[in-house]
């Protein structure tokens, strides 16, 4: 029976039971009146005692209540099971340049693209999905995964501020996709879905993808202005050619971006692929299924976390025992009670309960997992980090894979000096859907990379921390501190100027929330010759630092500093 049928059935039983209780007590009330009016009636008929009637009603009601609870759906224990999936790999190549904020497509081009992807995903179960995002430079945004929920979260996070290099370089994006397709990260049967407006000042030539191609064009050939809004910097308006924002879309100098459908159509034809304009047509999952119907399938295996749905069946036993107690004991007491002594009846009652229920009664711990976590937090606050890790390990069986538990374990390992394991814990904590927790995890990852001497990754994680939570001031301060540091030492034996500062200037965020960062001081500057010898990693760091300039839309990154068309 379905849950709806069961719900209606027990609702009907409740109505019948309430009617029975009402009629039974009404009869007892009227019986007393009839006995007073007709004295001889008491000799002709007998009624059981009122306490016995009340006890039987309570037993039946309690039994019915336990039966209803036993059929309520309940999440059972987690179990892991290996399953085989047969499908193809979808690699989305998504444009996140500023032109995707154009309002010629309601509400914007990027929002239309995100809505389309999210709408078709539920109908494509069994396949794997990945995404490369690009503006003036591309990067792998989401590796291949069969988890539609995880991939959907990545899609929702798409934003035009993801790539610091302003502009559009389709050629670089195509090369990045080709590199990923030829690696072992993507299987043999795959489809590339290109989502872009096709606008590129460099006019890329024809390109042949080593995969089936579907082109989704977004935007109109008439074009429209670019509406930009940055909550963190309180910037909003329409983008102009000098990188500033105008209050009105018809203001002088406002950029009007147009979709290049001719190029995208020629690209689809060159790859024998499909072209579709999201402004005129809304694709469905069936459209993509028809495209891959004749393709061979990839066989992939994954470990699925399953949670069996079951009722609280253990409550059926006491319900049956209550019904048996009512039927055999109370019924017999009502019929033959006058022939039995009270001591014999009490003996039967005690014997029934002794045989029905176990003799030993012990207290149980209601929330063992939560108690272990609380004990771990107390040990962490007392500075006993090994004990805290032990308590978190005990709690793992109650909360397997919980990002909050991974975050707490990472904090304890960081304090204990185990940076490698701490890094892995914080990376697992990034799976959380809580923006605040992800922000703290990114911040602590930045601290770890800083202690390991990797400034580039430290800066990346501080920036991601701010992306998740713009109010994370400690991450912003650390970025400013990083920007003031001198170049890292060269391989020719140059002295390490930051060794005594990186370890003590930054603090990890523990379970108690963001911790105040220590006061930082500018490091001693080297001579001019050493300062000019920036390594490749230092250049990349400078590139990211420049992208933090929130006072204008046109970021002064290395790649787009002199680019005229930066949208």
Residues 417 and 269 reside in one and the same domain: no
Asked if residue 207 belongs to a domain, the reply is yes
Decide which of 342 and 295 is more confident.
Answer: 295
Q: Is the pLDDT of residue 252 over 70?
A: yes
Tokens linked to 246: 């105008």
pTM value is 0.48
Q: Which domain-ending residue is among 356, 373, 400? A: 356
Residues 399 and 344 reside in one and the same domain: no
Strand-by-strand arrangement of the 235-239 sheet: 227-230, 235-239, 245-246
Closest to 411 measured CA to CA, from 507, 554, 317, 267: 507
Asked if residue 427 belongs to a domain, the reply is yes
Asked if residue 544 belongs to a domain, the reply is no
Tokens linked to 262: 């001719």
Count of CB atoms situated within 10 Å of the CB of 11 = 11
Residues 59 and 142 reside in one and the same domain: no
Q: What is the pLDDT of residue 343?
A: 56
Q: What are phi and psi of 383, to 5 degrees?
A: 85, 5
Residues 9 and 102 reside in one and the same domain: no
Most confident of the ranges 146-155, 199-208, 234-243: 146-155
3-state SS, one letter per residue, for 141-208: EEEEECCHHHHHHHHHCCCCCCCCCCCCCHHHHHHHHHHHHCCCCCCCCEEEEEEECCCCCCCCCCCC
Decide which of 46 and 504 is more confident.
Answer: 46
Asked if residue 459 belongs to a domain, the reply is yes
How far is the CA of 199 from the CAs of 195, 223, 279, 295, 484, in angstroms? 12, 11, 16, 31, 37
Residues 443 and 346 reside in one and the same domain: no
Return d(Cα 159, Cα 101) in angstroms, integer: 9
Asked if residue 137 belongs to a domain, the reply is yes
Residues 153 and 279 reside in one and the same domain: yes
Asked if residue 253 belongs to a domain, the reply is no
Weakest mean pLDDT among 36-50, 244-258, 279-293, 507-521: 507-521
Asked if residue 310 belongs to a domain, the reply is no
**Segment 341-363 mean pLDDT:** 53
Query: Which CATH number does the domain housing residue 436 bear?
Result: 1.25.40.10
Q: Is the pLDDT of residue 236 over 80?
A: no
Return d(Cα 101, Cα 226) in angstroms, integer: 5
Q: E strand or H helix at 408, and its extent?
A: helix 403-416
Res. 230 pLDDT band, cuts 50 70 90: low
Residues 39 and 161 reside in one and the same domain: no
Closest to 426 measured CA to CA, from 442, 439, 412: 442
**Segment 335-363 mean pLDDT:** 55
Return d(Cα 92, Cα 537) in angstroms, integer: 29
Give the residue numbers spanning the domain of 13: 3-76+323-356
Weakest mean pLDDT among 101-105, 234-238, 415-419: 234-238
Q: What is the dihedral of CA 71, 75, 80, 84, to 10 degrees?
A: 70
Residues 172 and 216 reside in one and the same domain: yes
How far is the CA of 456 from the CAs of 87, 141, 168, 414, 452, in angstroms? 37, 17, 24, 20, 11
Structural domain count of the chain: 3
Residues 65 and 106 reside in one and the same domain: no
Residues 288 and 183 reside in one and the same domain: yes
Query: Which CATH number does the domain housing residue 154 bear?
Result: 3.40.50.410
Residues 129 and 106 reside in one and the same domain: yes
Cis upstream peptide for 107 (omega within 30°): yes
Asked if residue 43 belongs to a domain, the reply is yes
pLDDT in tens, 143-201: 888 889 889 999 998 988 887 777 888 999 999 999 988 887 666 788 999 999 998 87
- Percent of the chain past pLDDT 90, that is, above it, reads 20
Return d(Cα 382, Cα 412) in angstroms, integer: 11
**Segment 7-12 mean pLDDT:** 82
pLDDT in tens, 312-340: 566 777 888 888 877 777 776 766 665 55
Residues 105 and 212 reside in one and the same domain: yes
Q: E strand or H helix at 558, and its extent?
A: none
Residue 257 DSSP SS3 = strand
């Amino acid at each position: 029976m379905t849950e709806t049928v069961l719900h209606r059935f027990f609702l009907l039983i409740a109505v019948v039971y309430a009617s029975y209780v009402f009629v039974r007590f009404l009869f007892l009330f009227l019986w007393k009146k009839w006995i007073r009016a007709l004295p001889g009636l008491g000799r002709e008929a007998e009624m059981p005692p009122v306490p016995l009637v009340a006890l039987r009603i309570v037993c039946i009601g309690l039994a019915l209540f336990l039966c209803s609870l036993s059929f309520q759906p309940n999440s059972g224990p987690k179990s892991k099971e290996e399953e085989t999936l047969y499908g193809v790999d979808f690699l989305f190549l998504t444009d996140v340049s500023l032109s995707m904020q154009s309002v010629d497509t309601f509400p914007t081009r990027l929002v239309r693209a995100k809505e389309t992807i999210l709408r078709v995903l539920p109908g494509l179960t069994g396949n794997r999905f990945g995404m490369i995002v690009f503006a003036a430079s591309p990067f792998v945004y989401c590796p291949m995964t069969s988890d539609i929920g995880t991939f959907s979260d990545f899609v929702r996070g798409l934003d035009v501020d993801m790539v610091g290099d302003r502009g559009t370089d389709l050629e670089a994006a195509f090369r990045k996709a080709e590199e990923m397709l030829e690696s072992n990260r993507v299987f043999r049967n795959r489809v590339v879905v290109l989502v872009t407006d096709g606008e590129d000042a460099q006019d890329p030539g024809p390109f042949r993808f080593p995969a089936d191609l579907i082109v989704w064009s977004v935007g109109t050939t008439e074009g429209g202005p670019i509406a930009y809004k940055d909550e963190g910097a309180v910037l909003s308006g329409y983008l102009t050619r000098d990188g500033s924002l105008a209050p009105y879309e018809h203001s002088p100098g406002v950029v009007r971006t147009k979709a290049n459908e001719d190029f995208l159509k020629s690209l689809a034809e060159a790859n024998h692929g499909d072209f579709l304009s999201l402004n005129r047509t809304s694709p469905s999952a069936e459209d993509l299924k028809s495209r891959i119907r004749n393709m061979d399938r990839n066989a992939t295996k994954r470990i699925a976390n399953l949670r069996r749905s079951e009722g609280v069946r253990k409550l059926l036993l006491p319900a049956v025992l209550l019904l048996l107690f009512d039927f055999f004991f109370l019924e017999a007491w009502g019929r033959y009670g006058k022939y039995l002594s009270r001591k014999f009846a009490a003996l039967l009652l005690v014997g029934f309960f002794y045989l029905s229920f176990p003799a030993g009664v012990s207290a149980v711990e209601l929330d063992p997992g939560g108690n272990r976590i609380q004990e771990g937090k107390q040990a962490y606050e007392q500075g006993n980090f090994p004990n805290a890790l032990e308590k978190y390990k005990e709690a793992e069986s109650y909360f397997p894979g919980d990002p909050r538990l991974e975050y707490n374990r990472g904090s304890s390992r960081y304090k204990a000096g185990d940076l490698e394991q701490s890094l892995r814990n914080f990376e697992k904590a990034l799976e959380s859907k809580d923006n605040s927790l992800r922000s703290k995890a990114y911040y602590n990852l930045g601290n770890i990379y800083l202690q390991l001497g990797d400034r580039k990754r430290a800066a990346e994680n501080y920036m991601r921390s701010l992306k998740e939570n713009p109010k994370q001031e400690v991450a912003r301060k650390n970025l400013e501190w990083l920007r003031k540091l001198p170049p890292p030492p060269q391989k020719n034996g140059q002295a390490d100027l930051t060794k005594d500062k990186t370890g003590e200037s930054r603090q990890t965020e523990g379970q108690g929330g963001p911790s105040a960062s220590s006061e930082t001081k500018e490091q001693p500057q080297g001579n001019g010759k050493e300062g000019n010898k920036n390594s490749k990693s230092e250049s990349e760091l400078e590139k990211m630092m420049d992208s933090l300039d929130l006072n204008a839309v046109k970021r002064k990154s290395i790649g787009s500093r002199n680019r005229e068309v930066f949208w």
